[in-house]
Structure 1
Amino acid sequence: MAAVLFTLPLPVAIVDLETTGGHFENDRITEIAILRFHEGCISRHQWLINPQQPISEFITQLTGISNEMVQDKPVFTDIAAELLPLLRGHLLVAHNSRFDYTFLRHAFAHCQINFAAPTLDTVPFSRKLYPQYFKHNLDSIIERFAIKIDAAKRHRAMCDVIALAEFLQYSLKEKTISVWMTHWQTLIKPGFLPSWLQSELLQQLYSLPDCAGLILWQPNPQEKGKIRLVERAFTDMCTLLQHKKTVKEWLLTRSVDFIPSISTLHAVWLQGYYLLHHGYSCTDAKDAPAKWYTVTFVPNFHGQLQARIVHLREGILSQPPFGLFVHPRAAKRALAEWARQYDLCPAVLDITPQSLGHNEPCPKQAAGLCDGSCRQDAATRKHNKLVLEYAPLLPVCDWGKWHHLQLTEIDAVTGNNVIIEAQAGCIRLDEQHWYFHPLLPKLLKQRLKKPTNINFIC
């Protein structure tokens, strides 16, 4: 198996963790074991770790690790520097890899260390190789292959690592190398970075975390820097660089900078900040989101402000927009209701039905609700004042009555936080500038579903 794994572009680390429980944010690691395949050699590494929180009786009975066993052991911070080179730039292999990978990412984050890596989950790998079996948990695999382990040490990290390695070895013997490797390669998430990248850049990209933020790079000295918003930096970059169309742009790139964010919403704010203050150009990380529309007011030849529905484009704004809509028809309906609610003249606003003749009275005048004086020049100043006063109250999609919010974004792992001000689907950059990005309406709507740490201003 070591010879087969040696053909991969990265060394392999078969990993298992024991923890105080299954909660990614609240529980901590108590034991780590690694079987490392590097340059044709195999090495074992294991640590008992003081989780700095009590181990329950249930976990002690399950894993055999007690509070007494770990009280004098190092905390994760003490071993992080030794552990990181054994995992970063490796393919992490684990049974239910999401569990081990997420705990490792969070543990390194507590130490202010970025960590991410490609992973392979041996649960779906077992399903691919042995579809005739229903169960694919580690106990079932141990029984199925008659793997000899000390029953008293089951659920200790190194014991489970060795059991998993034995399964991989047995399955490699039973299946051809081509079948075994085909399934292995297809299950690696998110995949390997391409070998054509500059070696220095490869190291930088494998050092990225899997959190939201900004990728900053300069394809060549003649171009200004580019900026890319990422929701999971390492995963998104691996996926991006597997496309052939990226080769030309990234072939000469030697380095990247990564600006971490607390959340994707914070990453959008950072992108606006860098576009405003540092002159970067922006590239979309995803397919172009849906178009959004807003209302602007422009004076006619009499100086009366009239409503116009326009496409709201990504970019820096001097003020938040008036309303936010997914379609022009929704904007038209909202404008009519808004004018009715605040007693504004639809004729002056130029939102009367198109079938209405130019000199015909507007519906309000025809119904006897208006004498038509609002069309006269003397009423222009009052009309314009009311339009600008009530324009910020145009609806924002289907979010209800709230237009202006102050959101506190909190990193659940580190506790770091940032306050972001949002209005009409835009976010404030400073006293004079706002920023709109097509992802913002979706992000803000998702955030409103969990209204904790939100100050509803109006």
Structure 2
Amino acid sequence: MSIVANNDAAAFAELAAVLFTLPLPVAIVDLETTGGHFEHDRITEIAILRFHHGHISRHQWLLNPQQPISDFITQLTGISNEMVQNAPAFADIAKELLPLVRGHLLVAHNSRFDYTFLRHAFARCHINFAAPTLDTVPFSRKLYPQHFKHNLDSIIERFAINIAATERHRAMGDVLALTEFLQCSLYEKTAAIWLAQWQALIKPGYLPAWLKPELRQHLYALPDSPGLILWQAARHEATTMMVQERAFTDICTLLQDKNVQRQWPQTGTVDFIPANSILHALWLQGYYQLQQQAQPYADETVPPVKWYTVSFVANHHDQLQARIITLKEGILSQPPYGLFMHPRAAKRALADWARRYGLCPAVLDITPQSLARNEPCPNQAAQLCDGSCRLDAATQKQNELLLQYAPLLPVCDWGRWHQLQLTEVEAVTAAEVVLEAQAGCIRLDEQHWYFHPLLPKLLKQRLKRPANIVFVR
């Protein structure tokens, strides 16, 4: 079989007819790049075969990657430094390219590669981009499970697709070869079987048809990066906010849940506040809550996670005593004293902490049983102290020591560190933001902290990547 270069409408008529039935136009995409590193390498060539409202159109650009092309890449793709010397940079064609891919289903062989390079290239131009994708590698596996190899070379050989050696690993040549595979497989498997596998592999899925057209357009313009989404379900309702790690993917997944549909039909617009990381996005949520600009979204499908901390309350003798309490999401006037996953862990930690810093367990009320005023505590009974720490005269000193060492109560899974300063760097643009974390909370300003049940787990993960972390205490 040969690829028809000048009459795509006739060559791919059957495929175009099936793709026309889909909710979104389709862009079959291939990129050539200077290498495979998503942050360091750049695009050298883009090709798109676009199926839009029943029409097929070709779009291709040779690009100057603004970095050297290695001899290996030149040998593989045929694209040399001399060829791209006077070609436009990605930024020069970004506005022309965007409407050809935004709001489309992106189809590519190993789509993660092409999709990620496109997202990053747009991000460097300060343009949000995301789209649903379909990877034709698993698509080929589903249709032809009897075959072991599903790379593009194997598919070209299997279907006898005639592509010149000079066109293999060039963007448009690979796009046309992939399109011919789709046409051949459609002919062999029938439309019903072909479409069933196709629809099952779209990630993260289409946005629902019941959304208002203008809202759907807003959502298709979201990036697939961390940030805060803000919306109003109805005109007079408060603004709701939701932390997202991959905004477009997360919102698509959310809206496929029938339980959330009642909140969205009246929504008109959605705002997106970009973040450098999910930790930064949670800081943004705390900040917007502090400013009373929005309220957090209550996801009833996610079971609540409980965390515990220690509060110190004065008794009628003005002695500060320890109480284990549940730490709730929200704004705090100071970071909590310790962080624990279970009350038993808090009790053990309190006992060890009191011994380490010479604090009276009886005054703290953390002995195994309640003690009367004149009844000896375990330390006194073991002749480890004379009991004077329980007298009124010692109250002030005990309270001062307690408040001095309370910030050193253990923080679950942080090891010996209690206070951190983290620099969150956005990988693509290299933008930086500095966050301060203490006892599982993040500082919002000089007087306020924010706790969210996700923070302890995220901070633990961040500690495994100690780059850009200053261990304060």
Report the equivalent of 1:299. 314
Query: What SS class does the counterpart of residue 291 from structure 2 fall into?
Result: helix
Question: Amino acid of the residue matched to residue 198 of structure 2?
Answer: W
Displacement of 1:359 after TM fit? Answer: 5.4
Question: Amino acid of the residue matched to residue 66 of structure 1?
Answer: S
Question: Amino acid of the residue matched to residue 425 of structure 2?
Answer: I
| Alignment match of 2:360 (pick from 333, 345, 362) | 345
TM-score normalised over the length of structure 1: 0.98
Report the equivalent of 1:270. 284
Query: What SS class does the counterpart of residue 278 from structure 1 fall into?
Result: coil
Q: Deviations over 1:384-414 (max 9, x none)?
A: 1111000000010131211111111001100
Is residue 420 of structure 2 the alignment partner of residue 411 of structure 1?
no
What is the correspondence of 1:32-431 to structure 2 with a 5 Å cutoff? Answer: 32-284=46-298, 287-354=302-369, 360-431=375-446
Distance in 1 (CA, whole Å) between partners of 2:268 and 2:260 is: 14
Query: What SS class does the counterpart of residue 208 from structure 1 fall into?
Result: coil
8 Å CA contact 1:289–1:439 kept in 2: the answer is: no
Report the equivalent of 1:446. 461
Query: What SS class does the counterpart of residue 123 from structure 1 fall into?
Result: helix
Displacement of 1:433 after TM fit? Answer: 0.4
Report the equivalent of 1:8. 22
8 Å CA contact 1:229–1:284 kept in 2: the answer is: no
Distance in 2 (CA, whole Å) between partners of 1:426 and 1:156 is: 50
Displacement of 1:23 after TM fit? Answer: 0.1
Distance in 1 (CA, whole Å) between partners of 2:304 and 2:90 is: 41
TM-score normalised over the length of structure 2: 0.95
Distance in 2 (CA, whole Å) between partners of 1:361 and 1:135 is: 77
Q: Deviations over 1:31-74 (max 9, x none)?
A: 00000000001000000000000000000000000000000000
Distance in 2 (CA, whole Å) between partners of 1:355 and 1:41 is: 81
Question: Amino acid of the residue matched to residue 304 of structure 1?
Answer: Q
Displacement of 1:369 after TM fit? Answer: 1.0
Distance in 1 (CA, whole Å) between partners of 2:118 and 2:58 is: 18
Shifted more, 397-406 versus 384-393: the winner is: 397-406
Query: What SS class does the counterpart of residue 189 from structure 1 fall into?
Result: coil
**Judging changes above 3 Å, is the alpha-carbon distance between structure 1 residues 65 and 4 closer, same or farther for their aligned structure 2 residues?**
same
Displacement of 1:357 after TM fit? Answer: 7.1
8 Å CA contact 2:277–2:426 kept in 1: the answer is: yes
Displacement of 1:364 after TM fit? Answer: 0.7
CA RMSD of aligned residues (A): 1.1
Distance in 1 (CA, whole Å) between partners of 2:322 and 2:469 is: 31
8 Å CA contact 1:211–1:232 kept in 2: the answer is: yes
Shifted more, 96-105 versus 349-358: the winner is: 349-358
Displacement of 1:355 after TM fit? Answer: 7.6
**Judging changes above 3 Å, is the alpha-carbon distance between structure 1 residues 76 and 289 closer, same or farther for their aligned structure 2 residues?**
farther
Question: Amino acid of the residue matched to residue 125 of structure 1?
Answer: F
8 Å CA contact 2:362–2:371 kept in 1: the answer is: no
Question: Amino acid of the residue matched to residue 359 of structure 2?
Answer: L
8 Å CA contact 1:192–1:238 kept in 2: the answer is: yes
Q: Deviations over 1:137-166 (max 9, x none)?
A: 000000000001112221000000000000
**Judging changes above 3 Å, is the alpha-carbon distance between structure 1 residues 127 and 359 closer, same or farther for their aligned structure 2 residues?**
farther
Distance in 1 (CA, whole Å) between partners of 2:21 and 2:167 is: 32
Question: Amino acid of the residue matched to residue 366 of structure 1?
Answer: A
Distance in 1 (CA, whole Å) between partners of 2:375 and 2:191 is: 82
Q: Deviations over 1:172-224 (max 9, x none)?
A: 00002111000000000000001111111111000000001111011112211
Distance in 2 (CA, whole Å) between partners of 1:104 and 1:396 is: 41
8 Å CA contact 1:300–1:306 kept in 2: the answer is: yes
Runs of 4+ aligned structure 1 residues displaced above 4 Å come to: 355-359
Query: What SS class does the counterpart of residue 227 from structure 1 fall into?
Result: strand
Distance in 1 (CA, whole Å) between partners of 2:36 and 2:293 is: 44
Displacement of 1:246 after TM fit? Answer: 1.5
Distance in 2 (CA, whole Å) between partners of 1:288 and 1:84 is: 39
Query: What SS class does the counterpart of residue 258 from structure 1 fall into?
Result: strand
**Judging changes above 3 Å, is the alpha-carbon distance between structure 1 residues 358 and 381 closer, same or farther for their aligned structure 2 residues?**
closer
8 Å CA contact 2:17–2:54 kept in 1: the answer is: yes
Query: What SS class does the counterpart of residue 58 from structure 2 fall into?
Result: strand
Report the equivalent of 2:448. 433
Displacement of 1:28 after TM fit? Answer: 0.1
Identity of aligned residues (%): 75
Distance in 2 (CA, whole Å) between partners of 1:327 and 1:52 is: 54
Report the equivalent of 2:9. none
Query: What SS class does the counterpart of residue 417 from structure 2 fall into?
Result: coil
8 Å CA contact 2:208–2:255 kept in 1: the answer is: yes
